[in-house]
């Protein structure tokens, strides 16, 4: 029973990973991500221990090899994660070694199936067992290949060199797929040093314009072999291929390679006149962010799953998966119909009850595997990866890589709508004023005065205190739906930014909004701090002050959600608290050093706690701080001072208009970053809205806050 218990525990963890694999990219649940981390950490050791117990068992059991095979099948599932953290990809040799170790134990166990079992049941199991073992090994090889590919900068170097070509800078020439590359060298003269670069082959290179032309022809001809006849929307194929092409450009930034198209006017026009165009009265902000969302979905799959490797060998994968499902079903049927023949002569199965339990657990694991694997195969056929392969199989000569076009008609209905969500469409919220209630008065990490044991206790108590605050109040760390008007405001700002001829000027950290609203002279002091973190904290505290000091009237809150004042208030409040959330939970995504950002943020939190205590935050309490004798130079006091100043603006609508414009400018100012790795790491933890803006600005050629002049 001990062996059965460990096998069942390992199988349960494997199934949990398979079922939850697609959830983590659209989930903010700390419990889910913690459970996935635990399962990812425990599984290798637990699987090896279970196999060791089977091998060392004093009495043999003919089901041991089948149990081991079940674990291998689950580990090689279509949706199995190849990495929990992005750094796991560089450790692919360790994964390969772990697989080899388990397979060594597995081969030792297989002797029991041949030597200890007899009868028709054992003979019937032998063939599907051997084929299933080969299919499981193939799946594991695919996972190792995916990890290796995710850590290999070669393809991204080929994209970077391709984008240095003047013709390739045209977005219609962006790469969708290419079969490989070769390194070439050239020099302008005999004395000049050779220049090495990657060169694309002449054949089978697919670009965005080739997909566009194909889709346009399909719409005009509407033949029996067209995309429409397969039940697939042409617009979805266009969007998927464009997103996949753009994902190559962001992947290039992950490996620290240059963006040759960043300073070209064509790049700017691609976003402003292409993604953000309002042609045919389209909902431009929805379409633009949908493309970005799918692009980040491709990147998540590339770094954390084996979908990219499946895409490159689609036919082999689908054949192997179908084989695994059929053979697992055959094995399940044999176990149900002839269990006594299979277990004949096995000493460990001395009691009928034990034998029935073993059979039941084995059948259950195999049955769940069949169901999950079939569902994940269907999910792949309805994914954007399948939409890209559908276009590629029509445009490339190497059709053996992709599922034949004629067979796709059977699964065409799966491509009408995406089967999974890429993103949760929510943003984190944190409030310095409200959340500081749950801190203790003295600072949590006083290394100079606390012993190691007390330090651990202090840090644990502080964590539990904050967690309690997050659970018991909506003013703690929580998530809210993205405001409906936020994306249109960002799009509007970007379009006006370029249409006014300012496309070559640096992004504004809020100074432009102060100038537009005529308060630059009075409020410019708020943006003259050493770091952007201090600027954001001062304005965040001021925004929270206004929320408390200027509550929305009940009658207005009920019937005016479409009013401009309400929309500006909502955008300002949620963006302010989102920036506070980023400073607390993801400082690596913001300007400046992440350690400095977190340190300053924590210091402001303790200032608020020392000043206000643990009482409920009221307007009178905040005003009392301003009239007191405390330090007027702290971040917290400066924020309250700014809030009181903004409160004197008689027109509340004008006040919230200023705040909304300020925070839209600030979030755009925060987005450019060279830390692509941090953005990719956040994809596996639910993703961030800031990453969507970062990707959009990258494709517009805005890589830094000090944008270089754009050349025509």
Average pLDDT of the segment spanning 570-577:
95
* pLDDT score, position 119: 53
Q: How far apart are the first and last CA of the chain?
A: 74
Of the candidates 359, 336, 334, 333, the residue with the CA atom closest to the CA atom of residue 346:
359
Say yes or no to pLDDT of 450 above 60.
no
Q: Average pLDDT of 1-11? A: 82
128 close to 330: Cβ distance less than 8 angstroms: yes
Overall average pLDDT of the 348-368 stretch: 71
| Spatial separation of the C-alpha atoms in residues 693 and 489, rounded to whole Å | 12
Decide if pLDDT at 523 tops 60: yes
Residue 114: count other Cβ atoms within 10 Å of its Cβ.
12
Whether the pLDDT of residue 507 is over 90: the answer is no
Express each pLDDT in 634-676 by its tens digit.
899 999 999 989 988 877 788 999 999 999 999 999 999 999 9
Q: Helices 564-585 and 486-499 meet at what angle, rounded to 10?
A: 90
Helix, strand, coil percent content, the chain, rounded in steps of 5: 70, 5, 30
Beta bridge pairs of residue 197: 184
Residue 682 has pLDDT above 90, yes or no: yes
470 pLDDT higher than 80: no
- The number of beta carbons lying within 10 Å of the beta carbon of residue 182 is 9
Alpha-carbon span 462 to 606, nearest angstrom: 12
In the block, tokens 């799966």 appear at 414
* DSSP assignment letter at 283: -
Is 707 in contact with 504 (CB distance < 8 Å)?
A: yes
* pLDDT for the residue numbered 345: 46
The confidence band for 625, taking pLDDT boundaries of 50, 70 and 90, is: confident
Mean pLDDT of 170-174: 80
The token pair that represents 343 in the structure block:
């277990």
Which residues pair with residue 195 across a beta bridge?
186
Strands 206-207 and 175-177, sheet pairing: antiparallel
Distance CA 549, CA 67 (A): 65
> Tokens 């674990």 map to which residue?
71
| Total-model pTM | 0.88
Identify the band that residue 334 occupies on the pLDDT scale cut at 50, 70 and 90: confident
Look at residue 181 and tell me whether its pLDDT is greater than 70: no
Q: Structure tokens of 177? A: 């797929």
Contact 624, 641 (CB under 8 A): no
| Sequential DSSP letters for 152-208 | --HHHHHHHHHTTSTGGGSGGG-EEE-S--EEEEE-SSSSSPPEEEEE--SSS-EEH
pLDDT band at 472 (very low <50, low <70, confident <90, very high): low
Q: How many CB atoms lie within 10 A of CB 142?
A: 21
Q: Is the predicted pLDDT of residue 595 greater than 90, yes or no?
A: yes
DSSP structure class, residue 440: -
How does pLDDT run across 12-25, given as a tens digit for each residue?
A: 888 888 888 778 88
The lowest-confidence range among 348-352, 470-474, 611-615, 669-673 is: 348-352
Q: What is the pLDDT of residue 711?
A: 47
Predicted pLDDT of residue 569: 93
CA–CA distance, 599 with 155 (Å, rounded to integer): 38
pLDDT of residue 587: 95
Please list, in sequence order, all residues whose beta carbon lies within 8 angstroms of the beta carbon of residue 387, skipping any fewer than 6 positions away: 232, 236, 237, 240, 241, 415
Q: Could you tell me which residues come within 8 angstroms of residue 630 by beta carbon, excluding any fewer than 6 positions away?
A: 611, 637
Q: Higher model confidence: residue 499 or residue 233?
A: 233
Of 502, 557, 516, 482, residue with least CA distance to 661: 516
Q: How many residues does this entry show for the chain?
A: 712
Is a pLDDT exceeding 60 seen at residue 627? yes
CB of 403 closer than 8 Å to CB of 314: yes
Strand runs labelled E in 219-340: none
- Take residue 93 and report the two structure tokens written for it: 């040799």
- Partner residues linked to 182 by β-bridges: 199
Rounded Cα gap, residues 671 and 688, in angstroms: 11
Q: Percent of the chain at pLDDT above 90?
A: 21
């Amino acid at each position: 029973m001990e062996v059965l218990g460990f096998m069942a525990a390992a199988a349960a963890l494997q199934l949990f990973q398979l079922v939850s694999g697609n959830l983590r990219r659209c989930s903010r649940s700390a419990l889910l991500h913690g459970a996935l981390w635990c399962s990812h950490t425990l599984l290798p050791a637990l699987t090896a221990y279970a196999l060791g117990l089977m091998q060392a068992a004093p009495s043999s059991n003919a089901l041991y090899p089948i149990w081991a095979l079940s674990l291998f099948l689950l580990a090689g599932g279509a949706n199995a994660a190849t990495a929990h953290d992005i750094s796991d990809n560089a450790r692919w040799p360790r994964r390969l070694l772990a697989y080899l170790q388990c397979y060594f134990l597995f081969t030792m166990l297989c002797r029991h199936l041949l030597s200890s079992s007899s009868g028709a049941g054992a003979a019937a199991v032998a063939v599907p067992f051997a084929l299933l073992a080969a299919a499981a090994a193939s799946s594991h090889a695919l996972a190792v290949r995916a990890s290796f590919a995710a850590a290999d900068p070669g393809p991204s170097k080929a994209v970077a060199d391709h984008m240095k070509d003047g013709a390739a800078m045209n977005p219609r020439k962006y790469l969708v797929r290419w079969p490989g590359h070769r390194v070439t060298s050239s020099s302008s003269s005999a004395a000049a040093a050779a220049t090495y670069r990657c060169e694309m082959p002449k054949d089978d290179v697919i670009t965005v314009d080739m997909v566009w032309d194909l889709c346009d022809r399909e719409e005009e001809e509407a033949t029996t072999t067209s995309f429409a006849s397969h039940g697939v929307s042409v617009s979805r194929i266009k969007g998927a291929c464009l997103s996949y092409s753009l994902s190559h450009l962001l992947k290039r930034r992950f490996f620290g390679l240059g963006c040759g198209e960043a300073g070209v006017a064509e790049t700017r026009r691609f976003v402003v006149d292409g993604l953000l165009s309002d042609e045919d009265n389209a909902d431009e902000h929805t379409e633009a962010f949908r493309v970005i969302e799918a692009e980040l979905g491709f990147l998540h799959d590339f770094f954390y799953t084996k979908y990219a490797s499946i895409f490159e060998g689609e036919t082999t994968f689908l054949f192997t998966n179908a084989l695994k499902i059929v053979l697992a079903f055959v094995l399940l049927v044999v176990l149900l119909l002839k269990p006594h023949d299979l277990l004949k002569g096995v000493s460990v199965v001395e009691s009928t009850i034990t034998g029935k339990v073993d059979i039941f657990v084995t059948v259950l694991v195999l049955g769940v595997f069949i169901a999950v694997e079939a569902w994940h195969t269907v999910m792949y056929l309805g994914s954007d990866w399948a939409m890209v392969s559908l276009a590629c199989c029509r445009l490339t000569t190497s059709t053996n890589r992709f599922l034949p076009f004629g067979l796709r008609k059977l699964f065409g209905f799966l491509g009408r709508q995406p089967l999974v969500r890429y993103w949760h469409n929510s943003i984190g919220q944190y409030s310095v004023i409200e959340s500081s209630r749950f801190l203790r008065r003295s600072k949590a990490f006083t290394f100079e005065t606390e012993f190691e044991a007390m330090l651990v206790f202090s840090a644990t108590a502080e964590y539990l205190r904050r967690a309690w605050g997050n659970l018991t109040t909506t003013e703690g760390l929580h998530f809210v739906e993205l405001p409906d008007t936020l994306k249109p405001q960002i799009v509007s700002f970007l379009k006006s930014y370029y249409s006014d001829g300012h496309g070559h000027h640096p992004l504004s950290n809020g100074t432009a909004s102060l100038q537009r609203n005529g308060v630059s002279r009075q409020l410019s002091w708020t943006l003259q701090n050493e770091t952007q973190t201090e600027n954001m904290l001062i304005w965040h505290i001021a925004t929270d002050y206004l929320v408390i000091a200027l509550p929305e009237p009940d009658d207005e809150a009920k019937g005016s959600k479409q009013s401009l004042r309400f929309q500006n208030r909502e955008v300002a409040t949620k963006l302010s608290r989102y920036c506070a959330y980023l400073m607390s939970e993801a400082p690596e995504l913001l300007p400046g050093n992440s350690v400095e950002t977190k340190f300053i943020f924590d210091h402001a939190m303790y200032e608020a706690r020392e000043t206000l205590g643990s009482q409920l935050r009221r307007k009178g309490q905040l005003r009392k701080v301003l009239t007191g004798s405390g330090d007027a130079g702290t971040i917290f006091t400066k924020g309250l001072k700014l809030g009181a100043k903004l409160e004197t603006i008689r027109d509340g609508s004008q006040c919230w208009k200023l705040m909304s414009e300020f925070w839209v400018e600030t979030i755009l100012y925060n987005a450019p970053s060279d830390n692509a790795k941090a953005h990719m790491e956040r994809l596996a933890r639910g993703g961030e809205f800031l990453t969507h803006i970062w990707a959009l600005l990258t494709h517009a050629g805005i890589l830094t806050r000090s944008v270089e002049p754009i050349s025509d």
